[in-house]
Structure 1
Amino acid sequence: MAAYVDGDGAAAGIALDAASAFGGDPSLTTLLKLLDSSRTAGIKPEAIAELATIGVEVARSMGIDLRAGLPMVVFNPDNERAAVYA
């Protein structure tokens, strides 16, 4: 998502593909599909960033730790590869 919000749709696509290949939690897979659909539909990165900010604020207000147990996908532009960290 960070690559997409930064305006790098190609890197975002690679990261989304890598995260999808990881599998795992069905709710994460649903989120990945929504993000990829937004990217391919041309939703502006600013709109996605705003939605993410609102989501984080709502989660924090409910006492939810969004970092707990979720994998992280990191794209390395030097070698054009994405890595998934659990």
Structure 2
Amino acid sequence: KHLIPALIATNQDQGVLKRVMSFVTGNDHFFLNLSMAACKSMMKAAEGVPNSTMVTVMARNGVNFGIQLSGTGNQWFQAPANPVNGLF
């Protein structure tokens, strides 16, 4: 909702704007890549705090789910991942 007015204000060619807005509004995961990168950047600042139990990384690969904590360096804590039940 916030991107569309900014795009319109660029005075770009209407055809280009239409294609861009169609892509943004038609892609349910458009913001996912942006938000994941922003969160990773923020969590990097919390890494390496001695004795901290703050979770700084969460990841899954379809088999395992793992976390890293701020105060434990690069050590992973893993467990079997539940089957994915979501949109495909």
TM-score range, shorter chain: under 0.3
TM-score (normalizing by structure 2): 0.27
Query: Which structure's residues are more often strand, by fraction?
Result: 2
Q: Flag the structure with larger Rg.
A: 2
TM, length-normalised to structure 1: 0.28
Q: Whose RCO is larger (CA < 8 A, sep 6+)?
A: 1
Structure that is richer in helix per residue:
1
